[in-house]
Amino acid sequence: MGRKAIPPVRQRIVTLSLRLQRQLSDFCLNVDVVCHESVTAIFGTSGSGKTTLLHLVAGLTRPDAGRVELDGRVLYCSTEATNQPPEARRLGFVFQDDLLFPHLSVDANLRFGYERLAKAERRFEPGQIVDLLEIGPLLRRMPQHLSGGERQRVALGRALLSSPRMLLMDEPLASLDQGLKSRIIPYLRHVRSDLDIPILYVSHSVAEILELTRQVLVLRRGEVLAHGDFFDVARNPEVLPLLDEYGFENVLPVELIHGNEGAARCGEQLLRIPPCDRPAGTRLFIGVRADDIILAQQPPVGLSVRNALRGTITSISAAGATRLVTVDVGHKLVAKITPEAVDELRLAPGGQTWCLMKTHSLRLGPEID
């Protein structure tokens, strides 16, 4: 098979404009947004209408009213009576369960959409996608003999080979364990940066979203609660409790200095992370839960904690009986503390603080390419 590498492409501006209404069993989904980013994450608790929104965009469910437009093409419009069927929209859908065709081999699954495309419409060859996702050894197997991570990679490959104008991903990693998630995220980052395919990415994991994008749209009971840069959105007092519901995990990009000793660099500052046998210079994400960050007025003395990142407080928001303090340590971190601690330490935006983190509360996340 021809294994021409996929040439790098410049990110073009995507415009997805959504104006949709749909009555659900106990509330009405009502969305009116324009997305310009190459990856927009849709965040919301279960039952907030995230999945329905993706189905409406894909044409699998019909809205009651509204308009869907992707880069100037009208996919649906209730006033013009336009309603492209899903097969004409060319949007790749990746479901939470991979939904591979059980009667087809991996190879035939991958080619299902590809073979329905006219030659001129094919942007990728199967060999390229197989290489990108490293699924070559699986081609002859049947889906039931694949592991969860393998199945999800094949499902992603199948969607990519249909040369979609956009990828719609509905919690594609939710059924995978943490280790597998970290292995798949880099593939998604490749898709985003190498293939020039915009992504709408539904998730309720803050870490997963931050590892892919900063652009987030927050849904609550069918309404758009906030839309924009994650750290701006996160300051919204109505959004915070939602982010907190599944455990707020920060992600911090670091560069390994010495993997086996767990030495890493975050900007100019040093960080002790759990040891890993990856080469020096590897860049990866570190996950740290907002609950696990301690704020201090001075660098620690006589404590076992290894990490103290110095930073500037950018905002303090209230979420019920807790305070979420955003600290810029070269990258933004959110720490969850009590109101009393805020008062006692006299924390205020613009002030300096140290973020203390135990080495073993840090999670080794996916590598950054």
Contact residues for other proteins, defined by CB under 8 A:
55, 58-60, 85-87, 89-93, 95, 97, 99, 101-103, 112-113, 116-117, 143-144, 158-159, 162, 168
* Nearer to other proteins (CB atom), residue 50 or residue 363: 50
Query: What minimum distance in Å lies between the beta carbon of 156 and other proteins?
Result: 12
Q: Which is nearer to other proteins, 91 or 316 (CB)?
A: 91
CB of 203 closer than 8 Å to CB of 21: no
Nearest-angstrom CA–CA distance, 55 and 16: 15
Closest distance to other proteins from the beta carbon of 102 (Å): 3
143/222 with CB nearer other proteins: 143
Query: Taking a C-beta distance cutoff of 8 angstroms, is the pair 61, 254 a contact?
Result: no
**Minimal CA–CA distance to 314: which of 270, 352, 262, 342?**
352
Where do the H-state alpha helices sit in the chain?
50-58, 86-89, 106-114, 126-133, 148-160, 178-194, 206-210, 230-233, 240-245, 339-344
Pairing state between β 249-258 and 199-203 = unpaired
User: Which is closer to other proteins, CB of 96 or CB of 269?
Assistant: 96
By C-beta, is 199 or 286 nearer to other proteins?
199
CA 40 from chain centre, in angstroms, equals: 8
CB of 160 to other proteins, least distance (A): 11
**Whose Cβ is closer to other proteins: residue 27's or residue 95's?**
95
- Tell me whether residue 369 is exposed, middle or buried, using C-beta atoms within 10 angstroms of its C-beta: 0 to 12, 13 to 18, 19 or more: exposed
Amino acid identity of 11? Q
Cβ proximity to other proteins, 117 vs 180, nearer residue = 117
Q: Report the nearest approach of other proteins to the CB of residue 170 (Å).
A: 10
* Least CB distance to other proteins at residue 154 (A): 12
Based on DSSP, count helices (H) and strands (E) in the chain, helices before strands: 10, 21
CB of 188 to other proteins, least distance (A): 18
Contact (Cβ atoms closer than 8 angstroms) between residue 108 and residue 161: no
By beta-carbon proximity to other proteins, the closer residue of 58 and 206 is 58
The nearest distance, CB 103 to other proteins, in angstroms, is 6
Residues 206-215: b if buried by 16+ CB within 10 A, e if exposed: bbbbbbbbbb
Residue 270 C-beta: closest distance to other proteins, Å:
47
CB-neighbour burial class of residue 190 (10 A; exposed 0-12, middle 13-18, buried 19+): middle
Contact 205, 248 (CB under 8 A): no
